[in-house]
A and B are shown apart, each in its own frame.
Chain A
Amino acid sequence: MNTRWWRGSRAPGAVFLLSLIATFEAWHLSNHYVEERVGERFNFRVSQVVDAVNGRMRDYEQVLRGGVGLFLASPTVTQRQWHEYVENANMPEHYPGIQNMAIDFPIPAAEKEAHIASMRALGYAEYSIRPEQPERPVYHTLAYVEPFGGRNLRAFGFDMYTNPTRRVAMERAIEQGVPAISGMVLLAQETHQDVQQGFIFCLPVYHQCRPAGTLAERHAALRALVCGAFRANDLMRGIFGSSTNDVELEIFDDGVVSPDTRLYTSLAKDSLVPLSLSNGRLVEVGGRKWLLRISANQRFLDSVSTLQSHVIALAGGFFNLALLITFTSLVGRESKARKLASEMTAQIRENEKRLAEVNRRFELAADSASIGVWDYSIVSGALIWDKRMYQLFQVKPDEFERTYNAWSSRLHPEDRARAEAELQAAIAGGKDFDTHFRIVWKNGEVRNIKAYARLELDSAGQPVRMTGINYDITEQRAMEAREHERTEQINAIFALSPDGFVVFDRSGCVRFVSPAFMHLTGLDEAEVMGLNETLFAARLARACLPGAVFPNLMALRAREQMIGGSHRELIEIAGPGKRVLEAGLRLSRTETVSQILYFRDITHETEVEQIKNEFLSTAAHELRTPMASIYGYTEILLTQDFDEETRRELLEIIFHNSELIIAIINELLDLSRIEARRGKDFQLERLDLALLLREIVAHFKAPAGRPILSAPTSDGTRQVRADRQKLTQAVSNVLSNAYKYSPSGGEVTLDLVESPPRIGIRVTDQGIGMTPQQIERVCERFYRADASGQILGTGLGMSIVKEIIELHGGTVAIDSEPGLGTRVTLWIPMSDPPGA
């Protein structure tokens, strides 16, 4: 805004003074009437002129916009097409004042030579980008200039960007995306004849697919500038073509009145502006402020009467000034309004652009994601699908009936009722439709569709239409199903595995613990989840028994890497009952898992191993003792002479100890066979127990001098299913013990006792008896109630008895009193007598 000519601190004073004069004159001449008429008429003419200028500029902008449209419609616009467009516009007739319409192309420096070469190849041998300039990233060239010929050839290849005035307009157009008019320039086409002021009007065309958010991006996205070169005199002559004009027009660029900014004048050269009646109006065209000064000329003045002319001369003076004052305020208000309007327009354009961009992005997204869009009019029942919907449903547009039923009939029969109900509920309830259903293609293929829709209500709240999207989730579902299945399998493996697992993620923290781990260690998930390996190791170590503590993971890792998987780290978990775990570590190279710690329960294994070791050690000891006698006495006999009696005595010792070794070996073999076979080699048969006992008694050799045993009589009722030979062995062992442990004599009895459903074989002696502690251990291997070695025995007899009876489903009961005797009862299940 620059209106120096009316600005100044004296203006209000002058206005006041002049108003006084005017008021005085008006009062004096009583000529308000004349005053009003002249002013009204002049104002009317001013408005006419302003409208004409604005209108013309709008028209010219339109023809340039047409050029933009040409570019938008076609990815490539040839020189030929541009020529046709301009020719078709018929500029001389419809748009006088446009010297040419040209296309300015930005040419990146790297492409400059190629561009020039291609232009020259088209036949323009002289073509170059002018004027020569130092190296720039981007050059501009008017590569298409129409009409092509005459003085317009001077513009061909002209780099407008080199001219500061033109550049300002170009940059405004590029950066703001608006039509922009340059300041006053002397067109390149000007010859020395009839030199006129001119200006450039340019509009930007961008590459549609490039971002245009920042200034730099807009420069980069620029495809071309559609430019019009205007000669001001020619342009305005269209408006002021008539010589009957009664007003004169001057246009000052940039809103500044000065001989240097005068873009146009209808006044003859050097003629003065008649100050008698003049008015200024500021208009904005192409982002440029033009000050239009419209002045009444002689013709206007002549048209009023002489008297009136005086009045007008005075009143006009008043008007002139008063209007200037008015203008002062008007300019302010008008420019504000224009600015607002311009901003609003820019805003609307920006919004439109954004909308177009959003739409374009949506289309792209919808296309790439194969999202179909549908629109269902609840009022009319019409269902509109976009092209992607047809693809999703594998329906050709001409096969689709565009109704609700056309949709529902394509749903999977099992999903149809539900999906329809959901849609109706959405319509009725005014809520969103968010579901999935299966559809059936014509070829019978079933697809899973995800559907989402929104209901649109009218102002009365009635549902009007529903707009929604569909997309195919068949593959996604299948993938999810596969994933789910795999997860379930893995979970099942983890859940069922007796081995415990701890999974560490890439950051080295516990990510997963299997149920078996929690069971084995007694730690629960919450205690260890998320711990890093140091904390985890410390936590687990706390759960261990001292001396068998979990080491740190670094140690395990080092061993894993050095020794491979063969290393076993044994730890013992504290708490009730012994629990020995073997811990191992495996490193993982997968994306999410760094290492897996596993734990195996080897409590049983270690116990078995311990039992085996103890057994071997005990067995060795039991064999070494008789062997010591055999070896030792043999050596003595070989090296010393003895009398016959002693010699015989010593040999008997050797013989007995040999027998003992044989018995031990046999019984160990028996025991291990019984244990290994676990009764599978038992030949079970129905036995009359009383009869069996009679047989045993008949074959049993009681020690010399001991009373003969008696067996209970058979009544055929006391039957069992048993292995005859094994049961005989068990009873014999017990009988043998009864005699052995009653060395001072006393009766040994053999009875049957019944306690249905079991029957007991009872052996009673009056021997040395046992303490409760001895009874407890009597069935242990190699345990001997007499440890003195006085009573010969292997220490295995009762172990064998126990094994045999238990494998028959029975139990061994022992009652004893030290010094009084022992009663052993072998309880086994009774068998029903045959036919019972």
Chain B
Amino acid sequence: MKKILLVDDHADIRRLIRIALGKTFEVHEAEDGTLALEIARRERPDLVVLDVMMPGALDGLQVLDAIRVDPALTHIHVIMVTARGQARDYDMGMTRGADAYFVKPFSPLQLVAAIKEMLAKDDARVSP
């Protein structure tokens, strides 16, 4: 079972994505950046859904940076989900190594489809 970490300071959003993901994933949640990194190191998820603007010491982009520089984590897929919708913000996320970028409000179905597609590619690469 693939592991997915949901990082968002709004519980409503975490719950929304969890519902949309259904029962086929092992889902972990974190409400700030520090906790997110801690869970990521412990659980080694296959994919992280990461909000950008969060209170606390680390925002989403900093968490992304930390994942990308950690050899143990760098393989993780990261999907940014953020309320910051300006082109500048999108570029910032993508150049720092995000795999996809969703702007709030987003379609939970599309997000889940993207997640499944990414993980399916992994399986295809691994199995042959």
With a cutoff of 8 Å between Cβ atoms, the chain B residues found around residue A639 in the complex are: 109
**Nearest chain A residue, comparing its CB with the CB of B51:** A625
Given contacts A788-B9, A789-B9, A789-B11, is CB(A632)–CB(B108) below 8 Å?
yes
A761-794 vs B, CB cutoff 8 Å, 1 = contact: the mask equals: 0000000000000000000000000011110000
With a cutoff of 8 Å between Cβ atoms, the chain B residues found around residue A621 in the complex are: 53, 83-84
Complexed CA–CA distance, A620 and B84 (Å):
8
Partner of B83, one of A628, A630, A632, A787: A628
Quick check: is B106 within 8 A (CB to CB) of the other chain?
Answer: yes
A589-629 vs B, CB cutoff 8 Å, 1 = contact: the mask equals: 00000000000000000000000000001001110110111
Partner of A620, one of B11, B20, B85: B85
With a cutoff of 8 Å between Cβ atoms, the chain B residues found around residue A622 in the complex are: 83
Complexed CA–CA distance, A617 and B9 (Å):
19
Quick check: is A446 within 8 A (CB to CB) of the other chain?
Answer: no
Whether B10 lies near A629 (C-beta < 8 A) is: yes
Complexed CA–CA distance, A399 and B110 (Å):
114
Whether B108 lies near A636 (C-beta < 8 A) is: yes
With a cutoff of 8 Å between Cβ atoms, the chain A residues found around residue B106 in the complex are: 628, 631-632
**Nearest chain A residue, comparing its CB with the CB of B32:** A788
Whether B9 lies near A636 (C-beta < 8 A) is: no
Whether A624 lies near B103 (C-beta < 8 A) is: yes
Given contacts A628-B106, A635-B107, A636-B19, is CB(A653)–CB(B12) below 8 Å?
yes
Quick check: is A657 within 8 A (CB to CB) of the other chain?
Answer: yes
Kindly provide the distance from the CB of A781 to the nearest chain B CB, expressed in whole angstroms. Answer: 15
Complexed CA–CA distance, A68 and B31 (Å):
126
With a cutoff of 8 Å between Cβ atoms, the chain A residues found around residue B58 in the complex are: none
Whether A625 lies near B11 (C-beta < 8 A) is: no
Quick check: is B128 within 8 A (CB to CB) of the other chain?
Answer: no
Whether B12 lies near A657 (C-beta < 8 A) is: yes
A783-822 vs B, CB cutoff 8 Å, 1 = contact: the mask equals: 0000111100000000000000000000000000000000
B60-97 vs A, CB cutoff 8 Å, 1 = contact: the mask equals: 00000000000000000000000111100000000000
Interface residues in B89-128 (C-beta closer than 8 Å to A): 103-109
With a cutoff of 8 Å between Cβ atoms, the chain B residues found around residue A627 in the complex are: 104-105
With a cutoff of 8 Å between Cβ atoms, the chain A residues found around residue B83 in the complex are: 620-622, 624-625, 628
Quick check: is B1 within 8 A (CB to CB) of the other chain?
Answer: no
Kindly provide the distance from the CB of B122 to the nearest chain A CB, expressed in whole angstroms. Answer: 26
Partner of B55, one of A624, A630, A788: A788
Whether A632 lies near B105 (C-beta < 8 A) is: yes
Kindly provide the distance from the CB of B31 to the nearest chain A CB, expressed in whole angstroms. Answer: 6
With a cutoff of 8 Å between Cβ atoms, the chain A residues found around residue B108 in the complex are: 632, 635-636
Complexed CA–CA distance, A632 and B112 (Å):
12
Interface residues on A, range: 20 to 34
Complexed CA–CA distance, A622 and B10 (Å):
12
Complexed CA–CA distance, A653 and B19 (Å):
14
Quick check: is B13 within 8 A (CB to CB) of the other chain?
Answer: yes
Whether B10 lies near A633 (C-beta < 8 A) is: no
With a cutoff of 8 Å between Cβ atoms, the chain A residues found around residue B19 in the complex are: 636, 640, 650
With a cutoff of 8 Å between Cβ atoms, the chain B residues found around residue A789 in the complex are: 9-12
Complexed CA–CA distance, A632 and B18 (Å):
11
Kindly provide the distance from the CB of A658 to the nearest chain B CB, expressed in whole angstroms. Answer: 12
Kindly provide the distance from the CB of A795 to the nearest chain B CB, expressed in whole angstroms. Answer: 12
Quick check: is B57 within 8 A (CB to CB) of the other chain?
Answer: no
Partner of A628, one of B9, B13, B84: B13
Kindly provide the distance from the CB of A771 to the nearest chain B CB, expressed in whole angstroms. Answer: 13
Complexed CA–CA distance, A635 and B104 (Å):
14
Identify whether the interface residues of A are mostly helix, strand, loop, or mixed. Answer: helix
Kindly provide the distance from the CB of B107 to the nearest chain A CB, expressed in whole angstroms. Answer: 6
Interface residues in A500-550 (C-beta closer than 8 Å to B): none
Complexed CA–CA distance, A424 and B108 (Å):
108
**Nearest chain B residue, comparing its CB with the CB of A630:** B105
**Nearest chain A residue, comparing its CB with the CB of B110:** A635
Given contacts A627-B105, A628-B104, is CB(A633)–CB(B85) below 8 Å?
no
With a cutoff of 8 Å between Cβ atoms, the chain A residues found around residue B107 in the complex are: 631-632, 635
Kindly provide the distance from the CB of A206 to the nearest chain B CB, expressed in whole angstroms. Answer: 93
With a cutoff of 8 Å between Cβ atoms, the chain A residues found around residue B53 in the complex are: 621
Kindly provide the distance from the CB of A613 to the nearest chain B CB, expressed in whole angstroms. Answer: 10
Complexed CA–CA distance, A617 and B108 (Å):
24
Whether A629 lies near B16 (C-beta < 8 A) is: yes
Whether B10 lies near A624 (C-beta < 8 A) is: no
Complexed CA–CA distance, A628 and B82 (Å):
10
Complexed CA–CA distance, A227 and B104 (Å):
122
Complexed CA–CA distance, A640 and B18 (Å):
13
Complexed CA–CA distance, A657 and B105 (Å):
12
Complexed CA–CA distance, A629 and B11 (Å):
10
With a cutoff of 8 Å between Cβ atoms, the chain B residues found around residue A653 in the complex are: 12, 15
Kindly provide the distance from the CB of A819 to the nearest chain B CB, expressed in whole angstroms. Answer: 17
Complexed CA–CA distance, A653 and B10 (Å):
12
Kindly provide the distance from the CB of A68 to the nearest chain B CB, expressed in whole angstroms. Answer: 103
Whether B16 lies near A633 (C-beta < 8 A) is: yes
**Nearest chain A residue, comparing its CB with the CB of B81:** A628
Kindly provide the distance from the CB of B86 to the nearest chain A CB, expressed in whole angstroms. Answer: 7
Kindly provide the distance from the CB of A805 to the nearest chain B CB, expressed in whole angstroms. Answer: 28
Max chain A Cβ within 10 angstroms of own Cβ: one of B53, B84, B85, B105: B105
With a cutoff of 8 Å between Cβ atoms, the chain A residues found around residue B84 in the complex are: 617, 621
Interface residues in A630-670 (C-beta closer than 8 Å to B): 630-633, 635-636, 639-640, 650, 653, 657
With a cutoff of 8 Å between Cβ atoms, the chain A residues found around residue B20 in the complex are: 632, 636
Complexed CA–CA distance, A622 and B85 (Å):
12
Complexed CA–CA distance, A630 and B106 (Å):
10
Complexed CA–CA distance, A260 and B110 (Å):
141
Complexed CA–CA distance, A102 and B103 (Å):
121
Kindly provide the distance from the CB of B80 to the nearest chain A CB, expressed in whole angstroms. Answer: 13
Partner of B104, one of A617, A625, A640: A625
**Nearest chain B residue, comparing its CB with the CB of A646:** B19
Complexed CA–CA distance, A138 and B17 (Å):
120
With a cutoff of 8 Å between Cβ atoms, the chain A residues found around residue B104 in the complex are: 624-625, 627-628
Complexed CA–CA distance, A650 and B12 (Å):
9
**Nearest chain B residue, comparing its CB with the CB of A642:** B19
Kindly provide the distance from the CB of B57 to the nearest chain A CB, expressed in whole angstroms. Answer: 12
Complexed CA–CA distance, A636 and B17 (Å):
9
Kindly provide the distance from the CB of B102 to the nearest chain A CB, expressed in whole angstroms. Answer: 9
Kindly provide the distance from the CB of A528 to the nearest chain B CB, expressed in whole angstroms. Answer: 39
With a cutoff of 8 Å between Cβ atoms, the chain B residues found around residue A632 in the complex are: 13, 16-17, 20, 105-108
**Nearest chain A residue, comparing its CB with the CB of B111:** A632
Given contacts A635-B109, A787-B55, is CB(A629)–CB(B103) below 8 Å?
no
Complexed CA–CA distance, A345 and B89 (Å):
107
With a cutoff of 8 Å between Cβ atoms, the chain A residues found around residue B15 in the complex are: 653
Kindly provide the distance from the CB of A109 to the nearest chain B CB, expressed in whole angstroms. Answer: 92
Kindly provide the distance from the CB of B27 to the nearest chain A CB, expressed in whole angstroms. Answer: 15
B1-40 vs A, CB cutoff 8 Å, 1 = contact: the mask equals: 0000000011111011101100000000001000000000
Complexed CA–CA distance, A789 and B10 (Å):
6
Kindly provide the distance from the CB of A497 to the nearest chain B CB, expressed in whole angstroms. Answer: 38
Whether B12 lies near A617 (C-beta < 8 A) is: no
Whether A624 lies near B85 (C-beta < 8 A) is: yes
Complexed CA–CA distance, A631 and B83 (Å):
13
**Nearest chain B residue, comparing its CB with the CB of A637:** B19
Complexed CA–CA distance, A44 and B83 (Å):
141
**Nearest chain A residue, comparing its CB with the CB of B22:** A640
Complexed CA–CA distance, A636 and B109 (Å):
8
**Nearest chain A residue, comparing its CB with the CB of B10:** A789
Given contacts A617-B86, A633-B16, is CB(A628)–CB(B105) below 8 Å?
yes
With a cutoff of 8 Å between Cβ atoms, the chain B residues found around residue A650 in the complex are: 19
A residues apposed to B, CB below 8 Å: 617, 620-622, 624-625, 627-633, 635-636, 639-640, 650, 653, 657, 787-790
Besides the known contacts A625-B83, A629-B105, A633-B16, 12 further A-B residue pairs in the complex with CB atoms under 8 A apart: A617-B84, A624-B83, A624-B85, A625-B10, A628-B104, A629-B13, A632-B13, A632-B107, A633-B12, A636-B20, A788-B31, A790-B11
Q: List 13 A-B contacts (CB under 8 A).
A: A617-B86, A627-B104, A628-B13, A628-B105, A628-B106, A629-B105, A631-B105, A632-B17, A632-B105, A653-B15, A787-B54, A788-B55, A789-B12
The 5 closest A-B pairs by CB, nearest first: A787-B55, A628-B104, A631-B105, A624-B83, A628-B105
